[in-house]
């Protein structure tokens, strides 16, 4: 709770007494700040009073309050009744108004989910219909000594249905109506400005929350407060940067006013900057903004770089504002000082869409600080399906995991939420560029006045909040809605003209229009959709006949009918902002999430929302790995483990292909796989499971996204391997670089044959090293089934990067036998800072162990130094690091599951 002075708290009744016991004369000189009083003690009651819970603190929602187990077992369906009910969130608070004589008291709701009516002391304050919007009400005339605040939140399912029915009656239906049956979801998500995925998705359940997911505050001030500050940083010339600063204010009154702003930037400027011109010139109360430019000498600035390219230097800026009414100036009238602090980074960023080297269409690449960079990363969905349960700790774990895997870009996907300030601040300091969708995904949307005005407010508020972050690289108005429209995903063909014009009205006339309010010189113009043809969609007025054109813009690519381990099946686009394969989270994650009596395979099937069910996962597994028959007692264990290998390998191959295409005429410059994280334990495309543990894919991503990588991709037509050496570093030491090609027999430890050759790397580029015919490698005793290849990029004897090539399916390989695996020793290592503890696991084998997989059977978050690796030497040590300071008690053999593909060979 933040407050300036004299806040009284009456804890005994559960009510909070907030009082400004110091009137102006009592604390002048101390009270000259905006007072912010959080209303944090709430009671929730359902419509008929049968459910009630008191003493709840924000953030709050019906599922977290009444049924936090909604993500376990079959509870997504079993507890759905909560989403059909209406709930009242109430807060009783006392307020000492006795000495109170200041200008405005705003009651500000930073996030209500979603459709509600707000009453203060039984007077209607207003209605809300957008969880992404901040609502603020001037309440000074309504406040009393004892106050009763009620937020009546309507069932989101019922509210969405009512809106859909109204549109239907007006012959203006907006599809899709309902999700695929397999989702066990709810209909009409597109009717509400609410996290779209809360009504279900192909990776998530329906848990349509209702609640207050951000703070509720009384803000007390005289004239105006600083709400957001946008800082557009641009390079003027060799000697200066410019900060174009806009302070967006909220003013409670009906009159124009005056103000004086001071900017402190101790690391950048020798003295504070006083913006005085509004002391004379009026600031409009309708859209109050203070705008000015501030030059910063180049010599003061260390440039901000994305992860992998340099440091992420951020500079604190601190703003204070005094505002007053009339000509007398601050000394006479204002005791209100509003503050805002933020950090900025100095970088340039453009999206380069120039004629492409293949002569057709345009490039689509990000250039940061003048350097063309390959964007490596993933797609981010909300860290929790219940918005009130999204924690900084979880966000931090996910973003740090992305950084550890060498990602430099995450796409905040349009079916979730605009993330918290903490998320973007962390992205700034980790160097993760953010591709920011606005929250529209996989649907058509209504365009009536009410909806559009709510959307405009949503876009305005969120764009103003996010725009100053150096991490925010680009805004995009929607996910896949252009493709959905032109490819008739939702049966819009029968009224194509209406849907086209509605599409343009929503995204061009409204969303883009608002986004342009925060246009930056160092940020590309917003894109309308992902995928889209980027600038080439302009002549089509942003509805192109093929928004998935490989020669323009970005594409999303999925094909489950072919072999994902074969690089030949993938397209050659400019930028791939989505692609991926499903897998199942580890067996222990299922154990934690399933009910005692639940059948595991039954639960997997229930949570598999893909319209094709488990077929694509099983088909890919069966192409390569020895999956037992379903009757086999080890079927589920093998299926889970193999699904992770199959996903990791397919994503590796696809990503490596895209990375290797950067210096070809295709000029592919980005690969963001779908998806980083999960909202429950379920079959999904994620590389990190619901509990934060890495699937094999994430361990592998840390290798295949490494700044220097060796890539060996099979080319069917010539039966050869294309060896490419990828280097994202801007400078590289050329000495002693060599590649070693080891041929292994499946039946023997250590390579049977080795060849090596000297190589070079191309800084920030790809060195196309060699094309090797498979027949040249596999001669004599080696056949396609008894041998496999390992390629290492080395400096001298040190291995920088390693990859494998398996000439036959692993299920059909000859010589894979019981590896005689033993875990030889486990030692507990306490790191000095005690925050993390690490366990070393020594693994001994007598024969090659294929894709060694380790899983901890304890409910802790942990990371391994590697996982899913080929062990071809007799002894190998892996480190297991707990996120929490735990160690010694966890060392029993039975706490660790170790699997190899060998265990399942027939």
Which residues are known to be catalytic? Answer: 480, 578
Residue whose structure tokens are 């600038």: 535
Question: Taking the complex as a whole, how short is the minimal distance between the CB of residue 682 and ligand BMA, in angstroms?
Answer: 12
Query: Is the CB of 651 or the CB of 801 nearer to ligand BMA?
Result: 651
Q: Which is nearer to ligand BMA, 647 or 786 (CB)?
A: 647
Among residues 95 and 380, whose Cβ is nearest to ligand BMA?
380
Closer residue to ligand BMA, CB minimum distance, 199 or 309: 199
- Give whichever of 554 and 903 is closer to ligand BMA, judged by the CB atom: 554
Q: How far is the CB of 798 from ligand BMA (least distance, A)?
A: 39
Closest CA to 347 of 464, 241, 467, 265: 241
Yes or no: say if 469 and 424 are a contact pair by the CB < 8 Å rule. yes
**Minimal CB distance residue for ligand BMA:** 202
- Based on CB atoms, which residue is closest to ligand BMA, 203 or 746? 203
Rounded CA separation 258/290 (Å): 10
From the list 68, 135, 217, 179, the residue with the least C-alpha distance to 610 is 179
Q: Measured from the CB atom, is 129 or 480 closer to ligand BMA?
A: 480
Q: Residue 539 class from Cβ within 10 Å (0-12 exposed, 13-18 middle, 19+ buried)?
A: exposed
CB atoms within 10 A of CB 429: 18
Q: Output the smallest distance, CB 505 to ligand BMA, in A.
A: 23
Q: Which is nearer to ligand BMA, 205 or 252 (CB)?
A: 205
Q: How far apart are CA 578 and CA 486, in angstroms?
A: 19
Euclidean distance between CA atoms 316 and 108, whole angstroms: 26
Torsion of CA 296, 298, 302, 305, to 10 degrees: 90
CB of 129 to ligand BMA, least distance (A): 24
What's the maximum distance between 2 C-alpha atoms anywhere in the chain? 97
- As measured in angstroms, the least distance from the Cβ of 182 to ligand BMA is 12
Distance (Å, whole) CA 194 – CA 212: 12
**CB-CB neighbours of 294 under 10 Å:** 17
Helix (H) or strand (E) holding 157: helix 156-169
Whether residue 507 contacts residue 456, with contact meaning beta carbons closer than 8 Å, is answered with no
Nearest to 588, CA basis, from 856, 853, 898: 856
Q: What is the 8-class DSSP label of residue 238?
A: T
Supply the DSSP symbol for 567: G
Minimum distance of ligand BMA from residue 680's CB (angstroms): 14
Q: How far from 463 is each of 194, 203, 324, 474, 626, CA to CA, in Å?
A: 17, 28, 28, 11, 51
For ligand BMA, the closer of residues 366 and 685 by Cβ is 685
Q: How many CA atoms lie within 13 A of 445 on its CB side?
A: 30
Minimal distance in Å, beta carbon 658 to ligand BMA?
Answer: 17
- Nearest-angstrom CA–CA distance, 447 and 509: 11
Pick the closest to residue 118 from 146, 142, 144 (CA basis): 142
- Residue number with CB closer to ligand BMA (676 or 725): 676
**H/E element, 135:** strand 135-138
The alpha helices in 492-634, defined as continuous H runs, are 496-504, 513-515, 587-593, 600-607, 615-624
Please identify which residue in the block is written with the tokens 């992305």. 402
Shortest Å distance, C-beta 349 to ligand BMA: 24
Binding site for ligand BMA (CB under 6 A): 201-203, 442, 479-480, 556, 578, 674, 685
Q: Cα 824 from chain centroid?
A: 39
Residue (of 579, 636, 628, 577) closest to 605 by Cα position: 636
Rounded Cα distance between 165 and 457, Å, is 25
Q: Closest distance between ligand BMA and the C-beta of residue 685, in Å? A: 6
Could you tell me the smallest distance in angstroms from the CB atom of residue 395 to ligand BMA? 20
State the Cα–Cα distance between residues 743 and 53, nearest whole angstrom: 66
Nearest approach in angstroms of CB 179 to ligand BMA is 11
Q: Is 225 in a helix, a strand, or coil?
A: strand
- Rounded-to-integer distance, Cα 610 and Cα 592, Å: 23
| Torsion sign, CA atoms 417, 418, 419, 420 | negative
Do residues 332 and 218 touch, judged by C-beta distance below 8 A? no
- Cβ-based nearer residue to ligand BMA, 250 or 578: 578
| Distance of alpha carbon 641 from alpha carbon 652, whole angstroms | 17
Task: Give min distance, CB of 564 to ligand BMA, in A.
Answer: 14
Would you say 437 or 502 has its CB closer to ligand BMA?
Answer: 437
């Amino acid at each position: 709770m933040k407050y300036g002075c004299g806040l009284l708290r009456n804890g005994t009744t559960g009510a909070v007494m907030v009082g400004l016991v110091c009137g102006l004369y009592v604390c002048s000189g101390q009270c000259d700040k905006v007072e912010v009083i959080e209303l944090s003690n709430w009671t929730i009651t359902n419509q008929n009073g049968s459910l009630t819970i008191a003493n709840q603190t924000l953030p709050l929602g019906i599922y977290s309050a009444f049924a936090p187990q909604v993500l376990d077992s079959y509870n997504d369906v079993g507890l759905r009744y909560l989403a059909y009910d209406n709930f009242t969130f109430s807060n009783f608070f006392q307020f000492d108004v006795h000495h109170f004589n200041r200008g405005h008291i705003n009651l500000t709701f930073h996030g209500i989910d979603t459709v509600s009516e707000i009453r203060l002391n039984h007077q209607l304050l207003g209605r809300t219909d957008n969880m992404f919007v901040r609502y603020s009400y001037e309440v000074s005339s309504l406040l009393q000594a004892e106050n009763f605040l009620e937020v009546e939140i309507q069932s989101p399912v019922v509210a969405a249905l009512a809106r859909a029915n109204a549109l239907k009656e007006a012959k203006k239906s907006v599809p899709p109506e309902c999700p695929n049956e397999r989702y066990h979801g709810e209909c009409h998500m597109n009717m509400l400005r609410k996290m779209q995925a809360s009504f279900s998705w192909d990776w998530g359940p329906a848990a349509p929350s209702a609640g207050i997911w951000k703070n509720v505050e009384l803000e007390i001030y005289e004239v105006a407060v600083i709400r957001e500050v946008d800082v557009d940083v641009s390079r003027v010339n060799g000697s200066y940067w410019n900060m174009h600063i806009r302070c967006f204010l909220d003013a409670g009154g009906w009159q124009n006013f005056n103000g004086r702003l001071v900017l402190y930037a101790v690391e950048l400027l020798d003295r504070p900057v006083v913006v005085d011109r509004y002391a004379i010139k009026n600031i409009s109360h309708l859209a109050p903004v203070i705008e000015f430019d501030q030059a910063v000498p180049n010599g003061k600035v260390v440039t901000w770089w994305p992860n992998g390219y340099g440091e992420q230097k951020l500079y604190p800026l601190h703003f204070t504002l005094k505002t007053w009414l009339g000509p007398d100036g601050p000394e006479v009238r204002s005791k209100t000082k509003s503050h805002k602090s933020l950090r900025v980074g100095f970088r340039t960023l453009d999206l380069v869409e120039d004629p492409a080297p293949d002569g057709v269409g345009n490039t689509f690449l990000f250039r940061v600080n003048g350097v063309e960079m390959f964007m490596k990363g993933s797609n981010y969905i909300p860290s929790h399906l219940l918005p009130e349960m999204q924690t900084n700790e979880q966000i931090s774990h996910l973003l740090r995991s992305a950084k550890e895997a060498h990602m430099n870009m995450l796409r905040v996907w349009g079916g979730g939420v605009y993330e918290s300030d903490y998320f973007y601040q962390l992205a700034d300091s980790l160097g993760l560029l953010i591709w920011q969708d606005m929250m529209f995904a996989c649907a058509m949307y209504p365009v009536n006045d009410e909806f559009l005005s709510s959307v405009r407010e949503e876009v305005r508020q969120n764009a103003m909040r996010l725009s100053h972050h150096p991490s925010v690289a680009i805004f995009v108005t929607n996910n896949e809605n252009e493709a959905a429209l032109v490819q008739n995903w939702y049966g819009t063909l029968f009224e194509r003209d209406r849907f086209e014009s509605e599409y343009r009205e929503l995204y061009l006339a409204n969303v883009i229009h608002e986004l342009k309010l925060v246009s930056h010189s160092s940020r590309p113009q917003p894109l309308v959709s992902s995928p889209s043809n980027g600038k080439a969609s302009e002549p089509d007025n942003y509805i192109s006949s093929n928004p998935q054109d490989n020669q323009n813009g970005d594409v999303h690519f999925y094909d489950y009918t072919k072999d994902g381990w074969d690089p030949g099946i993938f397209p050659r686009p400019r930028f791939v902002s989505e692609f991926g394969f499903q897998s199942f989270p580890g067996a222990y994650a299922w154990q934690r999430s399933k009910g005692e009596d639940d059948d595991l395979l039954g639960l997997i099937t229930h949570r598999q929302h893909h319209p094709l069910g488990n077929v694509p996962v099983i088909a890919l597994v069966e192409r390569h790995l020895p999956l037992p028959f379903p009757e086999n007692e080890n079927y589920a264990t093998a299926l889970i483990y193999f699904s992770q290998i199959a996903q990791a390998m397919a994503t590796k191959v696809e990503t490596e292909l895209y990375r290797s295409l950067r210096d070809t005429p295709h000029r592919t410059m980005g690969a963001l796989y779908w998806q980083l994280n999960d909202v429950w334990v379920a079959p999904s495309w994620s590389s990190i499971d619901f509990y934060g543990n890495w699937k094999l894919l994430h361990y592998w991503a840390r290798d295949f996204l490494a700044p220097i990588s060796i890539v060996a991709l099979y080319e069917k037509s010539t039966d050869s391997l294309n060896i490419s050496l990828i280097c994202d570093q801007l400078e590289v030491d050329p000495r002693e670089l060599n590649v070693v090609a080891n041929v292994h027999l499946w039946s023997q430890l250590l390579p049977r044959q080795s060849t090596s050759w000297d190589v070079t790397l191309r800084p920030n580029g790809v060195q196309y090293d060699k094309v090797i015919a498979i027949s040249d490698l596999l001669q004599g005793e080696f056949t396609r089934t008894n041998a496999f290849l390992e390629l290492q990029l080395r400096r001298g004897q040190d291995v920088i990067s390693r990859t494998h090539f398996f000439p036959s399916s692993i299920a059909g390989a000859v010589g894979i036998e019981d590896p005689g695996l033993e875990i030889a020793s486990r030692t507990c290592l306490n790191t000095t800072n005690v925050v993390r503890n690490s366990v070393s696991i020594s693994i001994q084998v007598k024969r090659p162990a294929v894709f060694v997989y380790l899983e901890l059977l304890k409910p802790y978050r942990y990371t391994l130094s590697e996982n899913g690796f080929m062990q071809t030497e007799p002894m190998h040590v892996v480190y297991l690091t707990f996120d929490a300071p735990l160690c010694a008690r966890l060392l029993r053999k039975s706490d660790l599951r170790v699997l190899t593909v060998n265990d399942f060979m027939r």
